[in-house]
Amino acid sequence: MNKKFIAIARPQDPYSKDWLDYNRQNPHLHRSVGGDGDNEGTPDIKELQDTIDKMQTSMDTLKTQNENLQASNQKWEDKHNEAEKHRKKQEKEAQEKADEAARASGDIEALTNSWTTKYNELETSSGEEISSLKNIIKNLTVTATAESIASKIAMEGCAEIIQPHIERRLYGEIKDGQALTKVYSEDGKVSALTIDDLAKEFSENKKFEKVMRGSSASGGGGTSESGGGVSGDNVIKRSEFDKMNPTQQALHMSKKGAGVVD
């Protein structure tokens, strides 16, 4: 039995795999890209493959050049660091020789200048390091305080929603060697508010009532402001809420009638 001939329609996509079968059935239409004929727009497979091969070769070349450049840069950086270490070593040795010569000759002024320079360099370096460590301590203290407040006043799984807002109201300072956390006023000014005052302020803030512990709008078997049970299209299960990231959780809770139920 003869195999039934099936004509292949001219593909609409210039890069369709059907062009191979179409070209086999229509050898009289073969042409290269840019040529004339009824097969206008048909890509020449070999030319396309050659173009792809050239692009791949160019990409491989660029990749190799980039790797060589990175290796060269690393070598230069290593040499620079080594030269810097050598320079500092030479400076130290030269200074020690100068100090020894000054001591031998009784040049008190030269010795004084040398030790003054060393002291100033050490003081500057230590001051920068201490300042950096103080900032780290203050930031860690503020973050820990905000996390503590949020976990106490927010529903389980909702602390991350309000923590950034709380953290913006806090700042740290070092006093008598102690890291302290202070509270900004609502308009961002230094205030006499305490940590407990801030926690109370946030727990009573209407903007966050849906995620607060004991709030009637927070779900968990409570009742809504209208007096009925928590229900509606914007009420989801706790398991679904916990799968959301903090941004998604905040977006959900900002919806009208939003809630979370166990």
> pLDDT for 10-35, tens place per residue?
877 776 777 777 777 777 665 544 44
Query: In this predicted model, which residue has the larger pLDDT, 220 or 47?
Result: 47
27-31, 153-157, 251-255: the lowest-pLDDT one: 27-31
CA distance linking residue 244 with residue 247, whole number of Å: 8
CA distance linking residue 14 with residue 94, whole number of Å: 75
User: Across 28-42, 103-117, 122-136, 151-165, which has the greatest mean pLDDT?
Assistant: 151-165
Q: Are 167 and 159 in contact (CB under 8 A)?
A: no
Tell me the whole-structure pTM to 2 decimals: 0.40
pLDDT greater than 60 at residue 155: yes
pLDDT greater than 90 at residue 114: no
Q: Residue 217: what pLDDT?
A: 47
What is the pLDDT averaged over residues 255-262?
Answer: 70
pLDDT greater than 60 at residue 89: yes
* Cα–Cα separations (whole angstroms), residue 16 to 6, 34, 38: 18, 18, 18
What is the pLDDT averaged over residues 205-222?
Answer: 65
Q: Residue 224: what pLDDT?
A: 38
What is the pLDDT averaged over residues 229-254?
Answer: 70
Domain boundaries along the sequence of the chain:
44-101, 216-262
Q: Are 8 and 21 in contact (CB under 8 A)?
A: yes
Query: In this predicted model, which residue has the larger pLDDT, 132 or 198?
Result: 198
pLDDT greater than 80 at residue 223: no
What is the pLDDT averaged over residues 71-87?
Answer: 84
Q: Residue 178: what pLDDT?
A: 79
Q: Residue 196: what pLDDT?
A: 92
Query: In this predicted model, which residue has the larger pLDDT, 180 or 256?
Result: 180
CB contact set of 149 (below 8 Å; sequence gap of 6+): 166, 195, 198, 199, 202
pLDDT greater than 70 at residue 9: yes
> Would you say the C-alpha torsion 123, 125, 126, 131 has a positive or negative sign?
positive
Read off the pLDDT band of 78 (50, 70, 90): confident
Q: Residue 232: what pLDDT?
A: 62
Query: In this predicted model, which residue has the larger pLDDT, 212 or 17?
Result: 212
Read off the pLDDT band of 72 (50, 70, 90): confident
* Cα–Cα separations (whole angstroms), residue 166 to 40, 127, 173, 207: 66, 31, 17, 13
Helix (H, G, I), strand (E, B) or coil at 161: helix
CB contact set of 255 (below 8 Å; sequence gap of 6+): 234
Tell me the backbone φ, ψ of residue 172, rounded to 5 degrees: -110, 155
Q: At what angle do helices 108-153 and 159-167 cross, to 10 degrees?
A: 140
